[in-house]
Amino acid sequence: MQKLILAFLIFALVACNDKPSSKILSASSGALNNLTVVMPNTMWEGPVGESIREKLAGPINGLPQVEPMFAINQMPDEAFSGFMRKQRTFLKIEQADTAALEIIKDEYARPQTGILVKGPTEEAIINLIKQDSAQIVNTIKETEFTEKVRRISLSLKEDKPLTEAFGITMKFPTAYRYAKEDEDFFWIRKDIPNGDMNITVYEVPYNLIDRDSNTIGSLIKMRDSIGGDNITVSEGMRFITEAAFAPYLSETTIAGRPAYQMNGIWEVKGRYMAGPFVNFTVDDKENDRYLVLEGFVFKPSANKRDNLFELESILRSVKFVDKK
């Protein structure tokens, strides 16, 4: 009997010391593109807080008005407890002997992404934030894109027409409709209060894009030609890239394929209509083409960050499959 009791006690002690990964986590919460920053109030009000605001709450490239990349909610460590620990994304600043950046997954809730920035001095922490700001931003964005696509997936529109025409799948909600289904050009739309959200999909020959110093010029010429020919506007007007606002060009990946990402402003030449767009020109060398995915928003006199974020999330959900 004594041996049995001893064995039971040992089992109980081992069970109590299980790794945190075995614990049951509740669902995370929080609005999209909202970031919780955990750090002392005095530090937030000083140079460290200023560097965080500069890198994470600065304006988004390609929007016609100033809108922050993330809405930030700062709190001291003692307030980061209970329900507040269930936030989907958080950035925590700590002082430590050595400078380091650590990505923490599902620490207090699931899914959850935490970023821990540590350093011996405020200067070291600031340097780390500046040095790794792109990694911090991309880590948070990936978490938010994944969450947005999860929400979209709760009510999906049939994407078989896209598979048959272009050999892709794409996740977008039933609130969207097919406005145009030509053999080589698709236009998908969603009505919103005082405006609309739009997606276009088409392909161009692989030799159409110059991969040199004039790449952005080739991309603008491409979208102005094909978009202008297919986006319906009033007679005598044309859907083009706004000439006065140079688009931002960067490189990314879509479904594992290299792609150019262009963020800029579209306009209807001859009419006072404009708005932001995000364009992905995907290198599909295997099929001797570029696949072009674009989202653009018309929503005058209103914030558009979250609308463009939804469109980018949809475009980033694209997967390549065999045509049916």
- Angle of the 133-152 helix axis to the 122-131 helix axis, nearest 10: 60
Task: Mark whether 119 and 196 lie in a shared domain.
Answer: no
The backbone torsions φ and ψ at residue 317, rounded to the nearest 5 degrees and listed phi first, read -85, -5
User: Looking at the predicted structure, is the pLDDT value of residue 276 above 70?
Assistant: yes
- The model's confidence at residue 177, banded by pLDDT at 50, 70 and 90, is very high
**DSSP for residue 209:** S
Whether residue 144 sits in one domain with residue 175: no
Strand, coil or helix: 321: coil
Q: Tokens for 158? A: 């049939």
Q: Is residue 203 part of a domain?
A: yes
**216 — pLDDT class (breaks 50, 70, 90):** very high
Do 255 and 118 fall into the same domain?
A: no
Does residue 111 have a cis bond before it (omega within 30 degrees)?
yes
Separation between Cα atoms, residue 147 and residue 139, nearest integer Å: 13
Q: Are residues 54 and 21 in the same domain?
A: yes
Q: From CA 252, how far away is CA 5, in angstroms rounded?
A: 60
pLDDT at 19: 41
pLDDT of 167 above 70: yes
**Mean of the per-residue pLDDT values of the chain:** 91
Same domain, 294 and 192: yes
The CATH number that applies at residue 258 is: 3.40.1000.10
What values do phi and psi take at 173, rounded to 5?
-70, 165
Domain boundary among 121, 151, 181: 151
Q: What is the pLDDT of residue 324?
A: 61
Phi and psi of 92, rounded to 5°?
-120, 130
- Confidence tier at 20 by pLDDT (50, 70, 90): very low
**To 5 degrees, how large is the angle CA 11–CA 12–CA 14?**
65
Which range of residues forms the domain containing residue 257?
156-320
List, as one string, the DSSP characters of 21-88. GGS--PBPB--TTEEEEE--HHHHTSHHHHHHHHHHSSBPTT-SS--BSSEEEEE-GGG--GGGGGBS
Report yes or no on 1 lying in a domain: no
Residue pointed to by tokens 């979209």: 152
Q: Is residue 233 part of a domain?
A: yes
Number of domains composing the chain: 2
The answer to the question of residue 173 being in a domain is: yes
Residues 6+ apart with CB under 8 A from 261: 249, 250, 251, 252, 278, 279, 280
Q: Tell whether 180 and 145 lie within a shared domain.
A: no
Q: Are residues 243 and 286 in the same domain?
A: yes
The answer to whether residue 308 is domain-embedded is yes
Q: Please tell me the predicted confidence (pLDDT) of residue 168.
A: 97
CA distance 190 to 47: 43
The secondary structure element, H or E, covering residue 227 is helix 215-230
pLDDT in tens, 104-118: 999 999 999 999 999
Of all residues in the chain, the percent with pLDDT exceeding 70 is 93
Cα 36 from Cα 124, distance rounded (Å): 21
Q: Note whether 221 and 247 are within 8 A (CB).
A: no
Same domain, 205 and 277: yes
Nearest 10 degrees: Cα torsion 298, 145, 319, 171: -60
Residue 279 and residue 204: Cα distance in Å, rounded? 14
From 107, 136, 151, the end of a domain falls on 151
For residue 85, give the CATH number of its domain. Answer: 3.30.379
Answer whether residue 100 is part of any domain: yes
In a domain, 122, yes or no: yes
> What residue spans of 248-323 are helical by DSSP H?
305-316
Same domain, 207 and 74: no
What distance in Å separates the CA atoms of residue 274 and residue 297, rounded to the nearest whole number?
8
Both 142 and 272 in a single domain?
no
For residue 255, the SS3 value is: coil
Note whether 100 and 31 are same-domain residues: yes
Is the predicted pLDDT of residue 69 greater than 90, yes or no? yes
Contact assessment for residue 268 and residue 233, using Cβ atoms and an 8 Å cutoff: yes
22 has a pLDDT exceeding 60: no
Per DSSP (E only), the strands in the chain are 34-38, 71-75, 89-95, 100-105, 113-119, 168-169, 177-181, 185-192, 195-205, 238-241, 248-254, 257-269, 274-284, 289-298, 319-320
Q: Note whether residue 72 is domain-resident.
A: yes
193 shares a domain with 166: yes
Tell me which of 126, 151, 176 is where a domain ends: 151
